[in-house]
């Protein structure tokens, strides 16, 4: 007979193998969506192959004020330059996801052991171990998590879960040490959990800062009441929890301040108000819960730009129902926290995990990856029931629902098999770029991002007529979707039938759009070359100029986006051999938002076009502008600015460029 201790060590290896097999088809996929906005930093200043380059790269994150430097650093496991092969990135993500599944197993087993010690018995501890394994499988094989695991940039969501799991494990261990009167070791472990792991989780993503609050949920609901062996051990435990309460209070104060600021000062870069966001998120939380408890193989993926905003409590009608339901859910968890602990703890852990991303912080409304950390405990009640244990953790025997253990075992195997099958199917989609694009477009028929992605794949496949059929009705319904308009122009260019009406539609889109991001720069760079090479019949330099002018007249566009348009007009003028006009547009762009990297790049473009003197003149314009130093602020942007100044990065880059321009212009230094 195989010893149970051996099985306890072997079971995580079974989990590793099963999850790897489920995710293996997805390793052949490519980069998607936000990957292109974040990962190119690997090669912005050349390969990351020395200490100065490493310092610049690690501090380059802009996704939140902290900059997520630990997550940014982790990408160096897979590549040191850009462009890069996506497979190593995906493989690392899958391995981290497997690690989180193993850590969840050990955590739930550790919590179960704390309850089993209250009523010793080999069968009770064995059942808790089974419950931990089943729960870990239900979480790690859930198909909703595929869009986090195989979405490379969402390593930023995976790593906070890793360090949160380690932190909660450390806290459970700290409690055990304190209960044994090992004060020094217990205090060190508590500091590791609350300070060390929170720091690591927060440096991966800001929601990692919720770890102290999650520790409170676990300590007060999921773990037995603490019994101190001695006065000092009790004080250490109380002091540790006080630190967690202070951290929680700071987070709630910050969220309340953001809500107040958003309501009274508005959110200029979003199409909804702060009040509308707060009304919409309860509906979204219920949708998350529905997808978690009623899984299906194919999800919406990364495109969630069609979420219906709650205008008031009655529009849509589900708003008030969702809000009342959420209040009921919180009340249920609060009232049952001492006798239905597993269910109450799962609910509170889920809601706590969503505090930063699903309340007042003005992020996009909906993303599947936000459930990765909050859902960790969600399946433990089911695991306990399937293992023959009560959801009321104070008892050790389950009720008579399914007294036959074989029935529970069969149900567990069926559930795990179904989740494996669905995750395998979803991972297979992520491994097939063409199928992925068309499936997401079908699942998100009104999503401009999904339809554009599918159209771009059709253009790559040489099927521009299908792209036109896909995009034309969408642009008619949403004339401000500039990504649709630009790709429709590209499709007509490939067909060779671009009309003045198509160009007018693109001009109207640029005049209405709110924030096209980096699309303007990338599209103009490609399209100017295509027009110069006569690859797009019907599109002229004058058309591109009129498009940009429509964007500059758009009051919704930020100074940064208008700077992109001025740069595009400058590049367009250079393509028409009109360097003086190019200089005018480059200078106008600098006036909108003075930035040294932009000035150097535009001066270099003027020099490369044979106009070195104009490049030097452009730099002198920048020198006369008042430039705000990012180091005067706070957060990772300030740290990055400090690193650049410490390395004399921009002065050295400028000195090299000026020397080149002066040599080309025949200027004597």
Is residue 252's pLDDT more than 60?
A: yes
Give one DSSP letter per residue of 49-118, joined into a string: -SHHHHHHHHT---SSTT--HHHHHHGGGT-SSSS--HHHHHHHHHHHHHHHHHHHHHHHHHHHHHHHTT
Neighbours of 442 (CB within 10 A): 11
pLDDT higher than 60, residue 122: no
Long-range CB contact pairs, 88-95, < 8 A, 24+ = 89/39, 89/152, 89/155, 90/26, 90/27, 90/29, 90/150, 90/152, 91/27, 92/155, 93/149, 93/150, 93/151, 93/152, 93/154, 93/155, 93/158, 94/19, 94/20, 94/23, 94/26, 94/27, 94/149, 94/150
Q: Comparing 24 with 116, which gets the higher pLDDT?
A: 24
| 1 pLDDT tier (thresholds 50, 70, 90) | very low
Residues belonging to the chain:
669
Would you say residue 3 has pLDDT above 60? no
In the predicted model, what is the mean pLDDT of the chain?
Answer: 90
Q: Tokens at residue 391, please? A: 């959801």
Report pLDDT for 396: 55
pLDDT, tens digit (0-9, with 9 covering 90-100), for 630-658: 555 678 888 888 899 899 998 999 999 99
Q: What is the pLDDT of residues 330-385, one digit of tens each?
A: 999 999 888 889 999 999 999 999 999 999 999 999 999 999 999 999 999 999 99
pLDDT tens string 491-508: 999 998 989 998 999 999
Percent of the chain with pLDDT over 90: 62
Question: pLDDT tens digit string along 477-487?
Answer: 888 889 999 99
Q: Which two tokens stand for residue 560?
A: 């940064």
Condensed to tens digits (0 to 9), the pLDDT of residues 442-458 reads 888 888 888 888 898 88
Query: Cα(603)–Cα(611) distance, rounded to whole angstroms?
Result: 9
Judge whether residue 403 has pLDDT over 60.
Answer: no
Indicate the pLDDT class of residue 22, thresholds 50, 70 and 90: very high
In the predicted model, is pLDDT for residue 598 greater than 70? yes
DSSP state of 192: I
pLDDT of residue 606: 94
Mean pLDDT (whole number) for 274-292:
95
Q: How confident is the model at residue 305 (pLDDT cuts 50, 70, 90)?
A: confident
Q: Is the pTM of this model over 0.85?
A: yes
Asked whether the predicted pLDDT for residue 259 surpasses 90, the reply is: yes
pLDDT of residue 293: 95
Q: How far apart are CA 51 and CA 643, in angstroms?
A: 11
pLDDT higher than threshold 80 for residue 140: yes
């Amino acid at each position: 007979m195989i010893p149970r201790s051996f099985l306890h060590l072997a079971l995580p290896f079974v989990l590793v193998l099963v999850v790897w097999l489920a995710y293996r088809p997805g390793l052949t996929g490519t980069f998607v969506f936000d990957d292109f906005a974040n990962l190119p930093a690997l090669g912005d200043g050349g390969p990351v192959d020395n200490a100065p380059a490493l310092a610049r790269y690690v501090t380059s994150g802009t996704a939140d004020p902290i900059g997520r430097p630990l997550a940014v650093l982790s990408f160096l496991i897979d590549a040191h330059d850009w462009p890069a092969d996506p497979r190593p990135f995906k493989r690392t993500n899958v391995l981290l996801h497997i690690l989180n599944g193993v850590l969840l197993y050990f955590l739930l087993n550790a919590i179960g052991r704390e309850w089993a010690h209250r009523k010793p018995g080999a069968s009770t501890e064995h059942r808790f171990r089974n419950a931990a394994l089943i729960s870990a499988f239900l979480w790690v094989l859930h198909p909703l998590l595929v869009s986090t695991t195989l979405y490379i940039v969402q390593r930023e969501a995976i790593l906070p879960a890793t360090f949160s799991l380690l932190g909660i494990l450390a806290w459970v261990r700290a409690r055990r040490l304190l209960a044994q009167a090992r004060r020094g070791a217990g205090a060190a472990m508590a500091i590791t959990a609350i300070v060390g792991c929170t720091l690591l989780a927060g440096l991966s993503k800001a929601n990692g800062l919720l770890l102290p609050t999650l520790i409170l949920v676990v300590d007060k609901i999921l773990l037995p009441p603490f019994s101190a062996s001695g006065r000092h051990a009790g004080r250490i435990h109380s002091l540790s929890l006080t630190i967690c309460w202070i951290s929680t209070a700071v987070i709630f104060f910050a969220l309340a301040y953001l809500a107040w600021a958003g309501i009274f000062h508005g959110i200029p870069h979003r199409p909804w108000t702060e009040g509308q966001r707060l009304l919409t998120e309860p509906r979204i939380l219920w949708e998350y819960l529905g997808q978690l408890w009623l899984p299906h193989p194919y999800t919406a993926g990364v495109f969630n730009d069609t979420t219906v905003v709650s205008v008031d409590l009655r529009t849509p009608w589900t708003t008030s129902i969702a809000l009342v339901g959420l209040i009921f859910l919180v009340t249920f968890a609060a009232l049952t926290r001492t006798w239905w602990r597993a269910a109450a703890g799962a609910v509170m852990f889920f809601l706590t995990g969503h505090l930063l991303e699903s309340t007042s912080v003005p992020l996009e409304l909906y993303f599947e990856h936000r459930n990765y950390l909050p859902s960790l405990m969600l399946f433990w009640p089911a695991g306990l029931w399937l293992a023959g244990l009560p959801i009321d953790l104070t008892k050790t025997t389950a009720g008579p629902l399914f007294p036959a253990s074989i029935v529970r075992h069969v149900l567990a195997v069926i559930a795990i098999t179904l989740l494996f099958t669905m995750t395998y199917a979803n991972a297979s989609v992520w491994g097939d770029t063409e199928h992925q694009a068309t499936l997401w477009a079908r699942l998100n028929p009104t999503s401009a991002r999904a339809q554009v992605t599918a159209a771009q794949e059709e253009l790559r496949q040489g099927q521009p007529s299908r792209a036109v059929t896909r995009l034309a009705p969408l642009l008619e319904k949403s004339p401000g979707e500039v990504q649709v308009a630009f790709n429709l122009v590209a499709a007509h260019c490939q067909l060779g039938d671009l009309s003045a009406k198509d160009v007018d539609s693109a001009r109207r889109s640029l005049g209405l759009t709110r924030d096209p991001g980096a699309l303007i720069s990338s599209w103009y760079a490609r399209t100017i070359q295509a027009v110069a090479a006569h690859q797009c019949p019907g599109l002229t330099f004058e058309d591109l100029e009129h498009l940009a002018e429509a964007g500059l007249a758009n009051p919704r566009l930020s100074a940064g986006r208008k700077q992109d348009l001025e740069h595009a007009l400058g590049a367009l003028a250079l393509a028409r051999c009109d360097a003086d006009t190019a200089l005018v547009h480059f200078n106008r762009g600098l006036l909108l938002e003075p930035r040294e990297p932009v000035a150097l790049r535009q001066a270099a473009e003027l020099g490369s076009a044979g106009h070195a003197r104009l490049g030097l003149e452009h730099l002198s314009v920048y020198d006369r502008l008042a430039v705000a130093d990012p180091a005067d602020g706070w957060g990772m942007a300030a740290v990055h600015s400090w690193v650049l100044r410490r390395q004399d990065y921009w002065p050295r880059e400028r000195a090299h460029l000026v020397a080149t321009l002066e040599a080309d212009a025949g200027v004597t230094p």
